[in-house]
Structure 1
Amino acid sequence: MRWLLLVLALFALPAMAEVRDPASHFFMPKLGDFKGDLDAARQEGKVGILLMFELDDCPYCHRMKATILNQSEVQDWFRQHFLIYTVDAKGDTAMTDFNGKDTTEKAFALEQRVRATPVFQFYDLTGKPTARFTGATQSKEEFLLLGRYVVEGAYKTMPFNVYKRQAGK
C-alpha cells in the first residue's frame, strides 16, 4: 500500500523544468566578430544580440547561470529571439566590435561602461545598445520579462522597472 501511495505522490508532483548547461544551450560559441554576428542575426530573423558581461569570480554571474540561464524555457525563448554571447570583462581575448574595430574583451567592456557584473546588454540589428540590466534577476520570470521588454520594443518608451510594474511583477 505504501508503495502505491509513493507512486501516486510522484505523479502528483508538478513537472520540473528541464535543466541544461548554459554554456552549450544558452550561449552561442564565440567567433569574436560582433559585426559579422549582426549579419547572422539579421539572416536568422533575430531581434538582436544579447551580451552577458561577466567575471570568473562573480557570484552573481554564477547564480544566474546556475538558477536561471540553465532553464530550458529561458534558453529556448532567448535563442529564438537573440544571438547570445559572453564577454569576459577582464579578458584579453581579441575580438571585433559592432563597428568592425579590432579590440579585446576587456577594452570593449570598458568602452561599454561595464563597472559591475553581470551586465546583460541588448543590441539591435545595427549594433546600437538598446536595453541594459546590471546584476542578477530575482527569478526566471523576471529574466523572461526582461527579454519581452526588448522584443516588444518597450525599452523605447519606458524603463524596465515601469514595464515590470505594469506587467504586475
Structure 2
Amino acid sequence: MADPTLSRRHLFQASAGLAAALLPARAQAKARLGDDGLYTEDWYVDSFLDLPEDFAAARGKGRGFALQWSQRGCIYCKELHTAYFADPAIETPIREAFDIVHLDLFGAREVTFLDGARLTEKALGQRERIRATPTFQFFAEVDGKPKEVARMPGLLPRPEFSALFRYVAEGAYAREPFDAWLGKQGKG
C-alpha cells in the first residue's frame, strides 16, 4: 500500500502543475473596465498620483516610466486594452520593462506632476497638450531631472506601437529621433 503522506516532491509537482495551469490564463487575460469607464490593466501602477514618487520608484527598479492618458468612450483605448494588450507578444515586454500610471483626460483627481505642480488630471492634460487618446508620455532622467523623451499621441499600428516602447527602453531617444531609429530596425 502507498504511503499517504505528502512528500516535498509531491508538493513541488502540485505547485508546478498549478502554476502551469495558470500561465495560459494570464496570456488570455481580459481588459478590465473600471468604475470610471476607463479600461486599465492590473499591472499598471496603483498610484497616489504623486508622479515624482512613482518616477523614482520605477527608476529604482531599473524600469521605464510612462503615463497613459485615456477618456471614457474612447474606442482606441478599448482596442489598446482588449486587442493589443491581450497579445502576450506586445503586452509582456511592456509589462516587464515599464511602470505605467493611468490618467483620465477629463478626470478630477489631483496629480502632483514631475515638476511639482499640483493640478487636476484635466488641467494637467490641457497643460501637457494631450489631444488624442490613448496617449503615452515617456519620461527618463535627463541632466538629473525627469524629462519627456517620447510621446505616442493616439494608437499606432502594432509594429510601431511595440517599437516605440523598445526605443524608449533601449534609451535610443538619446541618439536619434524615433523615425530614424525605426527606419534602421531590421536592417543590418
What range is the shorter-chain TM-score in?
0.7 to 0.9
Instruction: State the shift of 1:28 in Å.
Output: 2.0
Quote the Cα distance in structure 2 between the aligned partners of 1:45 and 1:155. 17
Contact in 1 for aligned 2:41/2:81 (Cα 8 Å) = no
> Pairwise mapping of residues 46-125 of structure 1 onto structure 2 (< 5 A)?
46=63, 48-125=64-141
Contact in 1 for aligned 2:66/2:100 (Cα 8 Å) = yes
Q: Report how many aligned residue pairs link the two structures.
A: 152
The alignment yields a C-alpha RMSD, in angstroms, of 2.3
Amino acid at match of 2:87: Q
Contact in 1 for aligned 2:55/2:65 (Cα 8 Å) = yes
Point out where structure 2 has 5 or more consecutive residues left out of the alignment.
Answer: 1-23, 32-39
Amino acid at match of 2:151: R
Contact in 2 for aligned 1:20/1:71 (Cα 8 Å) = no
Quote the Cα distance in structure 1 between the aligned partners of 2:86 and 2:160. 15
Question: In structure 2, do the counterparts of structure 1 residues 97 and 42 end up closer, same or farther at CA, with 3 Å as the change threshold?
Answer: same
Say if 2:58 is the partner of 1:41: yes
From the CA coordinates, give the structure whose radius of gyration is larger. 2
Say if 2:147 is the partner of 1:134: no
Say if 2:176 is the partner of 1:158: yes
Higher relative contact order (CA 8 A, sep 6+): 1
Q: Secondary structure of 1:124's partner?
A: strand
Contact in 1 for aligned 2:131/2:153 (Cα 8 Å) = no
Identical-residue share of aligned pairs (%): 32
| Partner residue, 2:35 | none
| 1:117-151 per-position Cα deviation (integer Å, ceiling 9, x unaligned) | 11111011432100111111211x33221111111
Say if 2:155 is the partner of 1:146: no
Instruction: State the shift of 1:168 in Å.
Output: 4.1
Instruction: State the shift of 1:26 in Å.
Output: 4.1
| Partner residue, 1:10 | none
Point out where structure 1 has 5 or more consecutive residues left out of the alignment.
Answer: 1-14
Q: Secondary structure of 1:52's partner?
A: strand
Q: Normalising by structure 1, report the TM-score.
A: 0.79
Contact in 2 for aligned 1:26/1:70 (Cα 8 Å) = no
Q: Normalising by structure 2, report the TM-score.
A: 0.71
